[in-house]
Amino acid sequence: MQIHSSFINGRYSTPNSKKINVINKFDGRVVSKVTYCTEEDIEEAISTSKLAFEEYKNFSAGKRYDLIAKLVALLEVKKEDFATLIAQEAGKPISYARAEVLRCVSTLKFALEESRRVGGTVVPMDFSHGENRNSFTQKFPIGPIIAIAPFNFPLNLALHKIAPALACGCSIVLKPSPYTPLSSLLFAELVEQAGFPKGVLNVVLCSNEQSEYLVKHETFKMLSFTGSPKIGWMLKNIAGKKKVTLELGGNAAVIVDDSVDIKKIADDIAVGAYLYAGQICISTQRIIVEQSIYAEFKELLIGAIQNIAIGDPLDEQTIVGPLIDKEHLRRVESWVEESKNSGATILCGGRVLNEDQNLYEPTLIENHSNTDLVFCEEVFGPVATISSFKDFNEAITLVNDSKFGLQAGVFSNRLDRIKQAFNELEVGAVLVNSIPGFRIDHMPYGGVKDSGLGKEGLIYAISDMTEEKLLVL
- Mean pLDDT over the full length of the chain: 97
Longest Cα pair distance anywhere in the chain, in angstroms? 76
- The pLDDT score that the predictor gives to residue 198 is 98
- Could you report the per-residue pLDDT of 327-368, keeping only the tens digit for each? 999 999 999 999 999 999 999 999 999 999 999 999 999 999
pLDDT band at residue 326 under the 50/70/90 scheme = very high
Mean pLDDT confidence for 238-263:
97
Mean pLDDT confidence for 374-401:
98
Mean pLDDT confidence for 44-70:
98
Alpha carbon distances (Å) from 452 to 152, 155, 189, 229, 428? 17, 20, 31, 7, 9
Q: Is the pLDDT of residue 187 over 80?
A: yes
- Could you report the per-residue pLDDT of 87-117, keeping only the tens digit for each? 999 999 999 999 999 999 999 999 999 999 9
pLDDT band at residue 141 under the 50/70/90 scheme = very high
Mean pLDDT confidence for 193-207:
97
Q: How far apart are CA 258 and CA 289, in angstroms?
A: 8
Of 151, 49, 167, nearest to 114 (Cα)? Answer: 167
- The pLDDT score that the predictor gives to residue 349 is 97
Mean pLDDT confidence for 379-386:
98
Q: Is 212 helix (H, G, I), strand (E, B) or coil?
A: helix
Asked if 417 and 441 count as a contact pair (C-beta separation under 8 A), the reply is no
Q: How far apart are CA 425 and CA 286, in angstroms?
A: 14
- Any alpha helices (H) in 323-407, and if so which ranges? 326-341, 373-376, 392-400
The DSSP call for residue 275 is G
What contacts 392, CB < 8 A, 6 or more positions away? 255, 257, 417, 420
pLDDT band at residue 1 under the 50/70/90 scheme = low
Q: What percent of the chain has pLDDT over 90?
A: 98
Q: How far apart are CA 149 and CA 378, in angstroms?
A: 18
Mean pLDDT confidence for 226-233:
97
- The pLDDT score that the predictor gives to residue 130 is 92
Mean pLDDT confidence for 436-461:
97
What is the set of domains in the chain, with CATH numbers? 3-248+451-472 (3.40.605.10), 253-441 (3.40.309.10)
Query: Which stretches does DSSP call E strand in 228-285?
Result: 243-247, 253-256
The HSE-up count of residue 151 (CA atoms within 13 Å, CB side) is: 21
The secondary element (H helix, E strand) that includes residue 414 is none
pLDDT band at residue 2 under the 50/70/90 scheme = confident
Of 51, 52, 55, 43, nearest to 6 (Cα)? Answer: 43
- The pLDDT score that the predictor gives to residue 16 is 82
Parallel/antiparallel/unpaired status of strands 345-348 and 363-366: antiparallel
Positions annotated as catalytic residues are 247
Q: Is 20 helix (H, G, I), strand (E, B) or coil?
A: strand
Q: Tell me whether residue 214 is exposed, middle or buried, using C-beta atoms within 10 angstroms of its C-beta: 0 to 12, 13 to 18, 19 or more.
A: buried
- Could you report the per-residue pLDDT of 403-430, keeping only the tens digit for each? 999 999 999 999 999 999 999 999 999 9
pLDDT band at residue 440 under the 50/70/90 scheme = very high
